[in-house]
Amino acid sequence: MSTGSTVGDAVIRTEGLTRQFTRREGLRKVRLSAVDGLTVTVGPGEAVGYIGANGAGKSTTIKMLVGILLPTSGQVRTCGLEPMAERVRLSRQVGVVFGQRSQLWWDLPVAESFSILGAVHRLSPHDERARTVELVEQLEMGPFLSTPVRQLSLGQRMRAEVAAALLHRPRLVILDEPTIGLDVVSKQRLREFLRAERTQHGTTLLLTTHDMGDVARLCPRVLVIDRGRLAYDGALDGLSRVVGARRVLVVDLDEPVEDLTGIAHTEHLASEAGGLRQRIAVDSEATTVPEVLAAVSARVGVRDLAVEEPDIEDVVRRVYLAQAGEGQRSVGPAPGGASGGASGASGGARGGASGGPRGTAGPASGTLGS
Amino acid sequence: MAEPTQPVIAIRTGGSEDSVRPGRFAPYRAVLASRARAQRSYRASFRLDLVSSALVAVVELAEVLVLYRSVSALGGLSLAQVLLVFGLADVGFSLASLGFGHVDDLPEHLRRGTIDVFYLRPQPVLAQLVTSDINLRRLARAAVGLAALVVGLIVAGVPATWRSAALVLLAVVCGTTISSALYVAAGGLQFLVIDGAEMTNSFVYGGRYAATQPATVWVAPVRAIFGYLVPVTFCGYLPVLAMLRLPAPGWLPAWLAWCAPLAAVWAWGLALACWRWGSRRYQGAGG
Amino acid sequence: MRARARVWWRLVVAGMRESATYRLAMLGGLVANLTFGFLKYGILTARVHAGGAPVVGYSVAVMSAYVWLSQGMLGSINLFGRTALAQRISSGDVAVDFLRPLSVQTSACLREIGRGLLALAPRGLPSVAIGAGLVGMALPYGVAGYLLGALSLLLAIAVSATTVYLVGVSGFWLVETRGVQVFYMVVSGFLAGLFVPIALMPAWLQVTAYATPFPAMLMMPVDVVSGRVGGLAALGLVMAQVGWLLLTAALGSRLTAAGRRRLEVQGG
């Protein structure tokens, strides 16, 4: 995994990528930056999670990467091509899954959608058949191959969508919220397939998601975008360090007890129903859920439990806060760039510190609390 | 993962040479063939579409018949002559809507974001949109138009000459081309006014309506718009004037009928400019 | 009673709000009205001239009034047959509507009326004003004429709402209401007198038209407002509209009750 060293054959390379929109607010026209100065390089075979709150600029970035939208300023090259000018050539090398926008033909059987797409990408009949067989097997689509798309369950449809985007063996696969609304089993199956696809074919993956589980299981590298700006670029564990990878353990107890405080590497968050249900934040770096559970069980019987993954919005908020803190500290003699540069060498650099033109001016400098 | 399944795949293959890359038009052919099959496979729904499409055409024809009831001529044309105008214009328009009518669906694609899918495929977006469907039901409408045309040709006393045949052919071919251009132009403008589809429709369907009328009854600005800017008079009215050697209204001499190909080129130039304008705005590349 | 009137007014306002969000659509509708208005004006006034003496009560001014009024009303009456109700029935959402302490029919119709009334401002008035300003048209006589005209217009919007409701409610019995809707769309405009004034039609077609509620949505108010039909006869037309309103509303209410029973028996 490399973040910036293989510039020559980078699959995605943006520099100062910016997209502004004009919106009418009353009588005034306001210019808003959906994406603001994004500088990112993604090498071949990488798997990158691209996360951020709703409206943070993820979809806008994707549209610029694939040539649907022209950047207001900055550079973008995808698979070495200029996306807008060379859209047709690019489309042969990129596969995109938009969670909400189907590429399949609503009223046709899945297999027929595939054969049309085979024709659209002008695959030879041999290629098309071989690839379809492969995808059908790996995504277990056999049982519903002759079902019209409109009758598929969400999980089945999403598998078909992914297959449709991968039919022409793209070098780069971009997935926009691929697991949204899926049940646990379907999510797991899709993640495993994407991992296998990446290892077997060296496919580069870029996925946006609201599900930290997707990122944790698929993406060694994470980009966090906040209000159009890159807030973090680095390894997933580095992100955990920045935001404190806290999962929340929710326990339902046999009897109401007082707050379960004092368990190592945890923080008691709340008690509900007079102490019958308690919420405990677990620092995953230092301890594990089973250990904490054992400590709780030693005090009181546990009737039921649930583990809440960190919420993306929460992660983004904390990246933001962490950087704001750092930005304030960097006013002092030791600029934040020093620590950023150090972790940059290990591939865990923050976006602002990865040597890009944005320097150490974190996205939050001075705007905290506004 | 779960136990392996035996995939049963029914995939059409295109001939014996398996490793040959399909031709340039294969993508479009594949989509169209499948759309046509899909429409015919929903028999009840397709029959309903055929009937309703024919009914629409019959009602439009009824409007003309009611108007010409108990008058000998309107706008310089008799009922028989206006039937001929109606027939020519409607055949052209129906054929255009058979192939291009679904460009009207663009606002729906824009609202649902599915237009982006077209941008992810290696063909021009307009070509994909045009070939994304085929409205077989409009054949019913073309049939009504054709009936009016045949009756008109018989009762209006059209001279059975090569000249008449050439004019009919020219009118149908150029009428189809011009009407198709209207759909494409409207489509391009719909990128700009997604919720205002009625505005763009007004010159597509207004154009169709105008094409079936005698241009003499129009006030000057209407004559300028539908005579030259959106040149629908070339679809039926002018060819009939030329065929029957009827007196022409000011600014629209009958010999113009022979210039229908020019009108078609003009309409398509306009259409492609509108499309380019709209799609570039959509992509944020400015007008 | 006052409380109920307030609820009804809220529904009308909700309908207005819904369509007020589509400003561009309103402008688009206006452009369409004007385009068709000028095309119709040309051919229909030619028809008046061709007849020599005024045809069945039509002078150029009255014909112009017919053109602009009928175009102006297009945004306010539903000649498409598409309703939100049909969709809610086919999706089963209508079961939720039945749980509300308010008649499904009343609320659907009032919203439709709200939409219709709102469209008068951006589509109806400009169509009439521009058309009348450019080519002139006949206007009602005196205050009584305007009042009767306004009443007739309101009734037309109401009849349209109660009639199109019948199309939606058919969804309780039909799996696919598209057939009914398409048929409604094709027939309603013609029989309402949108394409050509009903008075120009042959006698058998006129009888057919007046046997349906469609003229009450368009032809009758246009005749009243343009003054083509005046005096007691105009009052008669308004009474006929009231009759169609009561008839379609009663039928709709019966069908709603039957549909509800069917829903309860079959469990949606």
pLDDT range class, residue A312, cuts 50, 70, 90: low
User: What is the spatial distance between Cα A185 and Cα B177, in angstroms, rounded to a whole number?
Assistant: 53
Residue A365, in any domain of the structure: no
Asked if B18 and A124 come within 8 Å (Cβ–Cβ), the reply is: yes
C229: left (phi > 0), else alpha (psi -120 to 50), else beta? Answer: beta
Q: What are phi and psi of A72, to 5 degrees?
A: -70, -40
Is the distance from CB of B279 to CB of B286 less than 8 angstroms? Answer: no
Which chain C residue has its CA at the smallest distance from B57's CA? C186
Provide the chain A residues 86-115 that lie in CB contact (below 8 A) with chain B: 87-89, 91-92, 94-96, 98, 100-103, 105, 107-108, 111-112, 114-115
Which of A156-160, A196-200, A212-216, B241-245 reaches the highest mean pLDDT?
B241-245
Q: How far does A136 lie from chain B, in Å, by closest CA? A: 7
Asked if C32 and B62 come within 8 Å (Cβ–Cβ), the reply is: no
Predicted pLDDT of residue C267: 55
Q: Convert the pLDDT of each residue in A232-263 to its tens digit.
A: 898 877 776 666 656 788 888 888 888 887 78
Which chain A residue has its CA at the smallest distance from B282's CA? A69
Residue A7, in any domain of the structure: no
Instruction: Please give the mean pLDDT across all residues of chain A.
Output: 79
HSE value, Cβ hemisphere, 13 Å, CA-based, for C205 = 18
Predicted pLDDT of residue A5: 42
C32 contacts chain B (CB < 8 A): yes
The per-residue DSSP string of B115-158 comes to HHHHHTSSS-HHHHHHTT---TTHHHHHHHHHHHHHHHHHHTT-
Residue A176, in any domain of the structure: yes
- Bridge partners of A51? A224
Percent of chain A topping pLDDT 70: 80
Predicted pLDDT of residue B17: 52
User: What is the spatial distance between Cα C103 and Cα A35, in angstroms, rounded to a whole number?
Assistant: 49
pLDDT range class, residue A216, cuts 50, 70, 90: confident
C174 contacts chain B (CB < 8 A): no
> What is the distance, to the nearest Å, from the Cα of residue C251 to the centroid of all Cα atoms in its chain?
18
Q: What are phi and psi of C53, to 5 degrees?
A: -65, 155
Predicted pLDDT of residue A268: 81
Indicate if A178 and A260 belong to the same structural domain: no
Indicate if A298 and A188 belong to the same structural domain: no
The per-residue DSSP string of B243-284 comes to HHTPPPPTT--GGGGGGHHHHHHHHHHHHHHHHHHHHHHHTT
User: What is the spatial distance between Cα A210 and Cα A88, in angstroms, rounded to a whole number?
Assistant: 30
Question: Token pair 């971009």 is at which residue?
Answer: A174
User: What is the spatial distance between Cα C146 and Cα B82, in angstroms, rounded to a whole number?
Assistant: 39
User: What is the spatial distance between Cα B191 and Cα B273, in angstroms, rounded to a whole number?
Assistant: 13
Predicted pLDDT of residue A369: 29
Instruction: Please give the mean pLDDT across all residues of chain B.
Output: 87
Provide the chain B residues 268-287 that lie in CB contact (below 8 A) with chain C: none
Q: Which amino acid is at A42?
A: V
Q: Convert the pLDDT of each residue in A119-145 to its tens digit.
A: 888 888 899 999 999 999 988 899 999
- Three-state SS for A26? coil
Residue A358, in any domain of the structure: no
Is the distance from CB of B80 to CB of B152 less than 8 angstroms? Answer: yes
Contacting partners of chain C (3+ CB pairs under 8 A) = B
Residues of chain B with pLDDT under 50: 1-16, 287
Indicate if A203 and A326 belong to the same structural domain: no
C243 contacts chain B (CB < 8 A): no
- Three-state SS for B33? helix
Indicate if A217 and A272 belong to the same structural domain: no
Residue A4, in any domain of the structure: no
User: What is the spatial distance between Cα A220 and Cα A329, in angstroms, rounded to a whole number?
Assistant: 29
Indicate if A84 and A229 belong to the same structural domain: yes
A281: containing domain? 246-308
Residue A163 has pLDDT above 90, yes or no: yes
Asked if C28 and B193 come within 8 Å (Cβ–Cβ), the reply is: yes
Q: B199: which chain C residues are within 8 Å (Cβ-Cβ)? A: 24, 27-29, 31-32
Per-residue pLDDT of chain C (268 residues; tens, 9 = 90+): 678 888 888 888 887 777 666 777 888 888 899 999 999 999 999 999 887 656 778 889 999 999 999 999 998 999 988 888 888 887 778 888 888 878 899 999 998 999 899 888 888 899 999 888 888 888 887 888 899 999 999 999 999 999 999 999 998 888 778 888 888 998 999 999 999 999 999 999 999 999 999 999 999 999 999 989 988 999 999 999 999 999 999 999 999 999 988 887 765 4
Residue A300 has pLDDT above 90, yes or no: no
Helix residue spans in A106-247 (DSSP H): 110-120, 125-138, 154-166, 184-201, 212-218, 236-243
Q: Convert the pLDDT of each residue in C58-112 to its tens digit.
A: 889 999 999 999 999 998 999 988 888 888 887 778 888 888 878 899 999 998 9
Indicate if A182 and A127 belong to the same structural domain: yes
Which chain B residue has its CA at the smallest distance from A173's CA? B120
> Quick one: CA dihedral B148, B149, B150, B152, positive or negative?
positive
Which chain B residue has its CA at the smallest distance from C26's CA? B196
- Bridge partners of A19? A35
Indicate if A140 and A186 belong to the same structural domain: yes
Q: How far does B26 lie from chain C, in Å, by closest CA? A: 34
Predicted pLDDT of residue B30: 84
Strand order in the sheet with A73-78: A28-42, A12-25, A73-78
How many helical (H) and strand (E) elements, i.e. helices and strands, does chain A have? 11, 13
Q: A322 vs A369, which has greater pLDDT? A: A322
Predicted pLDDT of residue A366: 29
Token pair of B145 as six digits = 């138009």
DSSP letter for C197, please.
Answer: -
Residue A5, in any domain of the structure: no
Give the pLDDT mean for A293-309.
Answer: 83
Indicate if A236 and A251 belong to the same structural domain: no
User: What is the spatial distance between Cα C126 and Cα A285, in angstroms, rounded to a whole number?
Assistant: 69
HSE value, Cβ hemisphere, 13 Å, CA-based, for B29 = 8
Asked if B199 and C183 come within 8 Å (Cβ–Cβ), the reply is: no
User: What is the spatial distance between Cα A246 and Cα A232, in angstroms, rounded to a whole number?
Assistant: 18
Indicate if A209 and A344 belong to the same structural domain: no
Burial B154-185 (b: 16+ CB within 10 A, else e): eebebeeeeebeebbebbbebbbbbbbbbbbb
Indicate if A50 and A66 belong to the same structural domain: yes
Burial B233-267 (b: 16+ CB within 10 A, else e): bbbbbbbbbbbbebebbeebebebbebbeebbebb
> Which residues have C-beta within 8 Å of that of residue A17, sequence separation ≥ 6?
A35, A37, A38, A39, A40, A61, A64, A71, A73, A74, A75, A76
- Give Dmax over CA atoms of chain B in angstroms: 81
Instruction: Name the residue among C124, C137, C113 with its Cα closest to residue C30.
Output: C124
Predicted pLDDT of residue B285: 67
Q: Convert the pLDDT of each residue in A44-54 to its tens digit.
A: 999 999 988 77
User: Which residue of A17, A20, A94, A101 to mutate against B (max B Cβ within 10 Å)?
Assistant: A101
Nearest CB among B9, B34, B119 relative to A116 is that of: B34
Is the distance from CB of C221 to CB of C152 less than 8 angstroms? Answer: yes
User: What is the spatial distance between Cα A93 and Cα A77, in angstroms, rounded to a whole number?
Assistant: 13
Helix axes C142-169, C84-91, angle to 10 degrees: 20
Residue A333 has pLDDT above 60, yes or no: no
Predicted pLDDT of residue A338: 33
Contacting partners of chain B (3+ CB pairs under 8 A) = A, C
Distances, alpha carbon A9 to alpha carbons A4, A208, A220, B3, in Å: 11, 23, 20, 39
Q: How far does C249 lie from chain B, in Å, by closest CA? A: 27
Give the pLDDT mean for A102-118.
Answer: 87
User: Which residue of B86, B199, B203 to mutate against C (max C Cβ within 10 Å)?
Assistant: B199
Nearest CB among B59, B62, B67 relative to C47 is that of: B67
Q: Convert the pLDDT of each residue in B191-249 to its tens digit.
A: 888 777 888 888 899 999 999 999 999 988 999 999 999 999 999 999 999 999 999 88
User: What is the spatial distance between Cα C197 and Cα C192, in angstroms, rounded to a whole number?
Assistant: 9
B287 contacts chain A (CB < 8 A): no
Q: B284 vs A362, which has greater pLDDT? A: B284
Predicted pLDDT of residue A3: 45
- Give Dmax over CA atoms of chain C in angstroms: 64
Residue A346 has pLDDT above 50, yes or no: no
The per-residue DSSP string of A242-299 comes to HHT-EEEEEEEESS--S-----TTEEEEEEEGGGTEEEEEEETTT--HHHHHHHHHHH
Asked if C46 and B75 come within 8 Å (Cβ–Cβ), the reply is: yes
Burial A325-360 (b: 16+ CB within 10 A, else e): ebbeebeeeeebbebbbebbeebbbbbbbbebebeb
A148 contacts chain B (CB < 8 A): no
Asked if A68 and B5 come within 8 Å (Cβ–Cβ), the reply is: no
Q: B45: which chain C residues are within 8 Å (Cβ-Cβ)? A: 176, 178
What residue ranges do the domains of chain C occupy? 2-266
Indicate if A219 and A130 belong to the same structural domain: yes
The answer to whether chain B touches chain C by having 3 or more C-beta pairs less than 8 angstroms apart is: yes
User: What is the spatial distance between Cα C249 and Cα A334, in angstroms, rounded to a whole number?
Assistant: 80
User: What is the spatial distance between Cα B96 and Cα C137, in angstroms, rounded to a whole number?
Assistant: 37
ipTM: 0.87
Strand order in the sheet with A94-98: A94-98, A172-176, A204-208, A47-51, A221-226, A229-235
